[in-house]
Amino acid sequence: MKIRLALMISGLIALTGCGAGKFVGGALAATGVVDERTGKAIGASDNLTNAMKPIGFEEEKSIGGAVALVALSRFGGLDPDQRLQKYVTAVGTAVAQFSDRAAIPYHFAVLGSKEPNAFACPGGYIFVTRGLIDQLNDEAELAGILGHEIAHVSEKHALKLIRKMKMLGGTAEVTAAYLDTNPDAFDKIIDETVKSLFEKGLDKDKELDADRIGVDYAHRVGYDANGLKDFLNRWAAHESDSKTMKNTHPGAKERVGLLTKSIEKMKPATGPRLAERYKTWVKDPPPPG
């Protein structure tokens, strides 16, 4: 298991990369956070819905890409450390491959904000801040954090919120046809999604489900299942360090208690922690040249 995990991550690091250029309109694609097609759709200033397809992944990706733009702007842009971007992308990609929605492309990025936080946008756009990266002790903890965010995407938590919002407004589905005849609908959806993800948080039960499911994803790869729980145990004493994270997630102690019960059912729950590799990629300065 350790050999498989080491080879998987090493291979992914060699194959993946994430630029750290400026992000404005279509140029967002150059960052590696969104693909070129989505970047162009987000950058269109006249009518964003023109690039959207009927209900399906393309529509989800367009919504998620627009929310990702807000995340980049609000949380300090991309961290300039491209080694770190590649490493986080590699770990996240490995976990995503073992998720229940592995067929879609995922995009991972570290944001420059020093405030600890992590979040997922519809369509597979997953962010973790530099402030949270610096709080982690090993790769198993990182895998648990990313697994939690991947679970939000695999379970379509944000999309369910959007559907609920539209149903309350008298529309059963979010369709391209509906958005085309209601020019302000797209902006409203983005605004409400941003508020939910970055300010109010998703429903408590969805966050707790993401903990349980995300830990399972990381464990499927081969990581120690205790990674996320161990971070949350430490975080319980520092929750006030991140107002955003505190406002958008249940209390750390409650999360630890429920995770402990879930992990007890995993046999075995132990696995590699990879603290030295994490230190090499995240905390040590890059080698010369």
Q: What is the pTM of this model?
A: 0.82
d(CA 117, CA 133): 9
3-state helix, strand, coil in the chain (%, to 5): 60, 5, 35
Give residue 49's pLDDT. Answer: 37
Give residue 192's pLDDT. Answer: 87
Give residue 186's pLDDT. Answer: 77
C-alpha to C-alpha distances, 78 to 22, 134, 154, 279, nearest whole angstrom:
9, 15, 24, 20
CB atoms within 10 A of CB 105: 13
Give residue 78's pLDDT. Answer: 97
Q: Could you list the mean pLDDT of each consecutive 10-residue stretch along the chain, which spans 289 residues?
A: 52 45 36 53 39 59 91 95 96 98 97 94 96 97 98 92 64 58 76 89 92 98 97 88 78 94 92 96 79
Give residue 42's pLDDT. Answer: 44
Q: pLDDT per residue over 154-166, tens digit each?
A: 999 998 887 776 6
Give residue 112's pLDDT. Answer: 97
Q: Judging by beta carbons within 10 Å of its beta carbon (0-12, 13-18, 19+), is residue 289 exposed, middle or buried?
A: exposed
Contact between 114 and 130 (Cβ < 8 Å)? yes
- String of DSSP letters for 170-196: T-SS--HHHHHH-TTHHHHHHHHHHHI
Residue type, 118: A
d(CA 172, CA 183): 18
Give residue 237's pLDDT. Answer: 87
Angle between helices 139-154 and 227-235 (to 10 degrees): 100
